[in-house]
Amino acid sequence: MSLKQKVRDFVCHTGRYPNKRLGQNFLIDANILPKIVSEADIEPVDLVIEIGAGLGFLTSEIVKRANKTVTIEIDSFLCETLRQQFSDIPDFTLVEDDVLQLNLSRFFLGYDRKNVKIIGNLPYYASTPIVWKLLKYNQHISCCLLMFQTEVARRIVASPGSKDYGALSIGIDYYAKAEVVLHLSPNQFYPVPKVSSSLVKLTLRPQPKVLVKDEVLFFQLVRSAFQFRRKMLRNAIENGCINLDMEQMNRVFTILKIDSNRRGETLYISEFAEIANTFTATTG
Ligand code: SAM
């Protein structure tokens, strides 16, 4: 039976339609499932954490390859089905919870970071907060394979100077190397979403890409620069989300020989780090 038919049967037998609010667009292309999972290079010793199991289509592929699978699903109705479906699988744990509220640390106990991988066809509504949450576990996770709306995926992998480059690109680059590994059309999901999707592989860095003395200041500078992306860097920072001594900031630009007439979207992550670090050093 095709996966699309399985979703339809599920609706028919239970009277439960996929929940739009929870981003329930299920993957129904059986050929793409092994391709997605193979991008994670799963070894038998690995722990794989899946986010948003849905009807378990991707989960079935994961359990074939991983020794230990933890899958997190918020929808208790779907969890009931998943429990029945995977009850025979050893070392399979279903966590009925909101991933955004969950402390993931307990799952990592006893695993080397190189053996911890995350896979998720993420609900669009929460994909950005979920990825932020995962990046903060860079000491425990080696890689994440996550499905995003293509537009978000473009922003994640964008380079300086491009229209998609922004705070998200820098935030991700700080914690991980990002690449788009697959593009999917809306027809590979059911119900068919309005947008296309892309699978992004994040290889997490054990240490951030740049050394930053004050992370709060660094991220505030980045956010300010892109909040007013058409403004010159100097003006964007002055009008941004932080109240900084602009005389001091101008001195920082002079010390670093950074032209403050540039737009934030032209700056590399290393330049944002230099500005933040020099500002901290000269005010400290
Ligand atoms: N993995 C399945 C697939 O590929 O067919 C389902 C993917 S569907 C796009 C996203 C899934 O995430 C849904 O099953 C939804 O109920 C679940 N979900 C939504 N928000 C969640 C949250 N905050 N925590 C955990 N699961 C969530």
Which residues lie closer than 8 Å to 77 by C-beta, 6 or more apart?
A: 14, 16
Residue bearing the CA closest to ligand 1, atom 17 = 52
- Which residues of 161-221 form beta strands (DSSP E)? 176-184, 189-190, 197-204
3-204 folds as: Rossmann fold (3.40.50)
The confidence score (pLDDT) of residue 228 equals: 82
Domain ranges in the chain? 3-204, 215-283
Instruction: Give the whole-number percent of the chain exceeding pLDDT 70.
Output: 99
Instruction: Report whether pLDDT(102) > 80.
Output: yes
Class in CATH terms, 215-283: mainly alpha
Residue 88: phi and psi, rounded to 5, are -85, -5
Is residue 102 lining ligand 1, measured as CB closer than 6 Å?
no
Mean pLDDT of 81-103: 96
Is residue 58 lining ligand 1, measured as CB closer than 6 Å?
yes
Nearest to 184 by CA among 144, 145, 126, 129: 145
Instruction: Report whether pLDDT(179) > 70.
Output: yes
Is residue 30 lining ligand 1, measured as CB closer than 6 Å?
no
What is the C-alpha radius of gyration for the chain, rounded to an integer number of angstroms?
Answer: 21
The helix-helix angle for 127-135 and 150-157 (nearest 10°) equals 40
The confidence score (pLDDT) of residue 284 equals: 65
Best probe residue, ligand 1, of 16, 17, 22, 76 (max atoms within 8 Å of C-beta): 22
What is the full DSSP assignment across 28-51? --TTHHHHHHHTT---TT-EEEEE
CA 20 to chain centre: 20
Which pLDDT tens digit goes with each residue over 131-145?
999 999 999 999 999
Is residue 148 lining ligand 1, measured as CB closer than 6 Å?
no
Question: What is the Å distance from ligand 1's center to 24 Cα?
Answer: 6
Compute the mean pLDDT over every residue in the chain, rounded to the nearest whole number: 95
Instruction: Report whether pLDDT(201) > 70.
Output: yes
Residue bearing the CA closest to ligand 1, atom 5 = 26
The confidence score (pLDDT) of residue 213 equals: 96
Q: Do domains 3-204 and 215-283 have the same CATH topology?
A: no
Instruction: Report whether pLDDT(3) > 70.
Output: yes
Question: What is the Å distance from ligand 1's center to 94 Cα?
Answer: 13
Which pLDDT tens digit goes with each residue over 219-251?
999 999 998 888 899 999 888 767 788 899 999
Residue bearing the CA closest to ligand 1, atom 20 = 22
Give the C-alpha separation, 265 to 98, whole Å.
34
Best probe residue, ligand 1, of 24, 122, 152 (max atoms within 8 Å of C-beta): 24
The confidence score (pLDDT) of residue 6 equals: 95
